[in-house]
């Protein structure tokens, strides 16, 4: 959570930056102080304190304080243990699993429920109105986009995924108001994804971005779902980042499924499962 604030600090308004610096200077005290004292110490108004919390993706000061308290008191420290060329098999097993578990627990503590809620609302509305939901990514993120498409099409949604830059731009050109584009990126700096994001937003589509805080892509969409981790995207094959992105997709798909009309969805899924039985050996 504190890493996200550091990454986003320069993009905030000057007054909100002062609130952010106050958080970074003593997060534990910030979580316990009343809003009047926070505003006084940061030399800002009370509404500015609330605006800062919402700029960071939280549903007001109370939500921000709750997550902040958990982060500094009971949060799981993220210790990223890089794999080395001389690691034994057992070392690699432990490091990869430890990195993944740590990233998941850190996300649990830092996740903005407000941002996730907005994303679910946009996706659910698109589902209910028969609009399109498209997932795009390149490289490893392209594989995550395919997984997302698989999860959502089972819900009866008009959806597709693209990992080719030309197809992404062409598809974004066809999106309209009510449609959703979900952009997945580890670095948040891929040109093709940025181009598709700009085109989709100009056409009125809602753009959700799953990427690192402080990246160009993070501020380009309508809704940012932060996926922050210390794993370098230029060394070996991304491991933690891919699994973190898959988990975020699972959260979105599960929540949307729970909000859809169960009377229609459950029979459809059961019918699908029955038809797939013939594809398996008894």
| pLDDT top residue among 249 and 80 | 249
140 and 245, same domain (yes or no): yes
pLDDT-wise least confident of 72-86, 131-145, 154-168, 218-232: 72-86
**277 is a domain residue:** no
Work out the number of other CB atoms within 10 angstroms of the CB of residue 79: 9
Q: Cα 264–253–187 angle (5° rounding)?
A: 155
Query: What tokens were used for 264?
Result: 């229609």
Would 279 be classed as within a structural domain? no
Task: Tell me how far apart the alpha carbons of residues 171 and 251 are, in angstroms, rounded to a whole number.
Answer: 25
What is the pLDDT at residue 76?
A: 46
Tell me the sheet residues that pair with 183: 136, 209
> Is residue 236 very low, low, confident or very high in pLDDT (cuts 50, 70, 90)?
low
Bigger pLDDT: 270 vs 132: 132
Per-residue model confidence (pLDDT) at position 223: 96
Is residue 150 located within the same domain as residue 260?
A: yes
Number of domains in the chain: 3
Please state, in angstroms and rounded to a whole number, the distance separating the CA atoms of residues 200 and 196.
6
| Mean pLDDT, residues 64-69 taken together | 84
How sure is the predictor about 3, in pLDDT bands with cuts at 50, 70 and 90? Answer: confident
Domain match, 66 and 84 both: no
Residues 236 and 130 placed together within one structural domain of the fold: yes
Segment among 107-111, 154-158, 228-232, 273-277 with least mean pLDDT: 228-232
280 located within any domain: no
Could you tell me if 130 and 90 lie in one domain? no
Structural domain contains residue 254:
yes
At residue 251, the pLDDT reads 97
Query: Residue 112: its pLDDT value, please?
Result: 86
| Interatomic CA distance for residues 81 and 97, integer angstroms | 10
What is this structure's pTM? 0.73
What's the pLDDT at 254?
Answer: 94
What is the distance between the alpha carbons of residues 244 and 221, in angstroms, rounded to a whole number? 19
DSSP state string for 32-50:
TS-HHHHHHHHTS-HHHHH
- CATH classification at residue 53: 1.10.10.10
**Distance, CA of 185 to chain centre:** 10
With respect to residue 46, please indicate whether it lies within any of the assigned structural domains.
Answer: yes
Q: Is the pLDDT of residue 172 over 50?
A: yes
Residue 282 lies in a domain: no
Regarding whether 217 and 126 lie in a shared domain, the answer is yes
**Residues 9-45: tens digit of each pLDDT:** 888 899 999 999 999 998 889 988 999 999 999 999 9
Buried b (16+ CB within 10 A) or exposed e, 187-213: bbebebbbebbebbbeeebbbbbbbbb
| Pairwise CA distance, residues 240 & 56, whole Å | 23
Q: What is the mean pLDDT of the chain?
A: 88
Question: Of 60, 91, 110, which residue constitutes the final position of a domain?
Answer: 110
Residues 82 and 181 occupy one common structural domain = no
Percent above pLDDT 90 for the chain: 55
Q: At what angle do helices 165-174 and 191-202 cross, to 10 degrees?
A: 10
How large is the average pLDDT for residues 144-156?
94
Q: Which of helix, strand or coil describes residue 222?
A: coil
Q: Considering 44, 73, 102, which residue would you say is the last residue of a domain?
A: 73
pLDDT at site 194: 97
pLDDT at 232 over 90: no
Domain that includes residue 20, residue range: 2-73
């Amino acid at each position: 959570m504190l890493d996200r604030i550091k990454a986003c600090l320069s993009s905030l308004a000057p007054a909100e930056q002062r609130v952010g610096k106050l958080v970074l200077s003593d997060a534990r005290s910030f979580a316990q102080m009343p809003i009047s004292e926070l505003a006084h110490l940061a030399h800002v108004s009370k509404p500015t304190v609330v605006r800062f919390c919402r700029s960071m993706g939280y549903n007001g000061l109370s939500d921000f304080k709750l997550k902040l308290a958990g982060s500094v008191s009971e949060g799981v420290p993220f210790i990223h243990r890089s794999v080395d060329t001389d690691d034994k098999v057992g070392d690699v097993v432990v490091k990869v699993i430890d990195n993944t578990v740590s990233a998941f627990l850190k996300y649990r503590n830092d996740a903005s429920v407000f941002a996730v809620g907005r994303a679910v609302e946009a996706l659910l509305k698109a589902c209910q109105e028969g609009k399109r939901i498209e997932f795009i990514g390149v490289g490893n993120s392209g594989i995550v986009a395919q997984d997302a498409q698989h999860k959502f099409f089972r819900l009866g949604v008009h959806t597709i995924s693209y990992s080719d830059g030309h197809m992404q731009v062409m598809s974004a050109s066809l999106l309209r108001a009510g449609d959703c584009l979900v952009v997945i990126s580890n670095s948040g700096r891929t040109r093709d994804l940025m181009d598709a994001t700009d085109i989709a937003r100009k056409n009125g589509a809602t753009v959700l971005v799953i990427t690192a805080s402080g990246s160009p892509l993070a501020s380009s969409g309508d809704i940012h779902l932060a996926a922050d981790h210390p794993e370098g995207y230029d060394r070996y094959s991304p491991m933690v980042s891919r699994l973190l992105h898959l988990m975020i997709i699972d959260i979105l798909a599960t929540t949307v499924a729970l909000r859809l009309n169960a009377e229609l969805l459950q029979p459809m899924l059961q019918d699908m499962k029955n038809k797939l039985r013939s594809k398996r050996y008894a």
